[in-house]
Structure 1
Amino acid sequence: MNILLVEDDKNIREMVCDFLTSENYNVITAIDGQTAIDIFKKHTFDIVLLDLMLPRSSGFEVLKYIRSVSVIPVIIATAKDSDTDKMMGLNLGADDYITKPFSLVELLARMKANIRRATVYSNSDGSRDNVIKYKDLTINVSKYTVSKNGADLNLTHTEFEIIRLLATNQGRAFSKEQLYNTIWKEAYYGNESVLNTHINRLRNKLSDGIDKNNYIKTLWGIGYKMEEE
């Protein structure tokens, strides 16, 4: 597994790099945003670990570039009290975040979960199509694609897992805890910002910004579901 670690703090960078190398990952590091973009253009990675506060292009700029060309998993690292940064990062397309100072064991667990989802998403051969029709959407579970009126939607692997779960269980309401446990494969602990941001981003892509509740319905106090009228 190839990892791009973007971190300008020398101590954190060396600590994470040494730990991941000991876990048999191949780690390439960048100490600023522009270098990270240049490296990303030249190499193929399985996941990106991205600090947000960087010299020479911020982590937000790096994330915007990555999302313009790839759906690779991105985990952002944020300061403990930077809720605004967390939300901005998630809205720009990050899959997950970890708060500094963080546990290396927790970092590894989050990496493995995101890589696992991305691997399933990218390795589907589509030999047996399993297609779900929902309103004007065509959800191909085998090929991991979603199209709207024939036009493909550019979903991340996490967004696809959410719509696949809801679409294959139409009419069933999922609580936030159930959704998080199923998609992220870890305990919920009230991680609403991650889940809510992914739901909102998915809704925007499905609806073109119009009538955002048309596809995924919110059941106040309960959770979410997909169901034909």
Structure 2
Amino acid sequence: MSVSRGRKRILVVEDEENIRETLRYNLTREGYEVSEAGTGTAGIELARQRRPDLILLDLMLPEMTGLEVCRVLRAEMSTPILMLTAKASELDKVVGLQVGADDYVTKPFSLNELLARVAAMLRRAELTGVQRQDTGEIEDFGGFRLDRAARTVRVGAENVHLTPKEFDLLSLLLGNPGRVLSRSTIIHRVWGSKFFGDHKTVDVHIRWLREKFERFNTLPFRVTTVFGVGYRLDRLDAADRSPTTLNEKPTTA
């Protein structure tokens, strides 16, 4: 059932080696370029490095569950995610869709059905323009540029050096404009589920970001502290910008 197509990149995140090998063999035979990961953390790193066109994500994974992986990736990219689950309950499927999965297949699954769904999801992504090559990788507006693939930040002609966590935090906020992100959500998405430190870590990193950007006269976005909840980033029109846009006074929820 091979179909003529370009070399689409697919990432398979599955801890069962026999299933992973079966998927790799059949997807490769269909003409796809396949990457593999056996754990949730490895899957996230490969997704960030390879920027696949589609991700096959197992629900039950070591280190991080498929749901946790899905939450992290959905905050960073719009890549279609097809969840593989051995759990047949409606609740599990609904939760998977709520955290960002685009579709799911219940194990044991038909290879023909899975390949058909993969092809349909890729075709739908192309038609809707969701999966353009640069989608989700670059935030470029108002003289500010953040490149997720290169992990660089620039304001005007000046590069801004950020630590890995500072970069991930700013990237997360930029990917969710206008939304209040709680400290626990930020911890989960930036530091991961195995982080056992204090939530004040988020406040410290926000302060460090503000210190690194305070030398710039204006920025095209504002990071607002929402007391008792977390932080919100808003994009600004030129008329709304001021020298204190990153250091905006806190507000209540």
State the one-letter code of the partner of 2:124.
R
Q: Distance in 2 between matches of 1:10 and 1:31?
A: 8
For 1:34, the aligned partner's letter is T
User: Is residue 67 from structure 1 mapped to residue 74 from structure 2 by the alignment?
Assistant: yes
1:14 corresponds, among 5, 21, 27, to: 21
**How far off is 1:101 after superposition?**
0.3
* Cross-structure match for 1:182: none
Amino acid at match of 1:87: V
Residue 103 (structure 2) aligns with: 96
Matched pairs, number: 129
Unaligned runs of 5+ in 2: 1-7, 133-176, 180-253
Equivalent of residue 81 in structure 1, options 88, 94, 100: 88
Residues 12, 56 of structure 2: 8 Å contact kept: yes
The structural deviation recorded for 1:123 is: 7.4
- Cα pair distance change 1:124/1:73, threshold 3 Å: closer
CA gap 1:107/1:22 in 2 versus in 1, 3 angstroms: same
Q: Aligned partners of 1:14, 1:25: CA distance in 2, in Å?
A: 14
Query: In structure 2, the residue corresponding to 1:94 is in which secondary structure?
Result: coil
> What residue number does 1:143 align with?
none
Instruction: Report if aligned partners of 2:81, 2:102 keep a CA contact under 8 Å in 1.
Output: yes
Query: Taking structure 2 as the reference length, what is the TM-score of the superposition?
Result: 0.48
Conserved? CA contact 1:51–1:77, under 8 Å? yes
1:33 aligns with 2:40: yes
Cα deviations across residues 173-212 of structure 1 (Å, max 9, x unaligned)? xxxxxxxxxxxxxxxxxxxxxxxxxxxxxxxxxxxxxxxx
Identity %: 45
Give the SS at the match of 1:57: coil
Task: Name whichever structure is richer in helix by fraction.
Answer: 1
- Distance in 2, matches of 1:55 and 1:122, equals 33
Larger radius of gyration between Structure 1 and Structure 2:
2
- Code of the residue aligned with 2:44 in structure 1: it is I
Any conservation in 2 of the 1:2–1:27 contact (CA below 8 Å)?
yes
Report the residue type matching 2:49 in the other structure: K
Q: Determine if contact 2:9/2:52 at 8 Å carries over to the other structure.
A: yes
For the Cα contact (< 8 Å) 2:78–2:131, is it kept in 1? no
Go from structure 1 to structure 2 and tell me whether the alpha carbon gap of 1:86 and 1:13 turns closer, same or farther (over 3 Å shift). same
Match of 1:121 among 123, 128, 134: 128
What is the rounded CA distance, in whole Å, between the counterparts of 1:71 and 1:119 in structure 2? Answer: 12
Q: Establish whether residue 110 from structure 1 lines up as the match of residue 117 from structure 2.
A: yes
- For residues 34 and 62 of structure 2, the distance between their equivalents in structure 1, rounded to whole angstroms, comes to 20
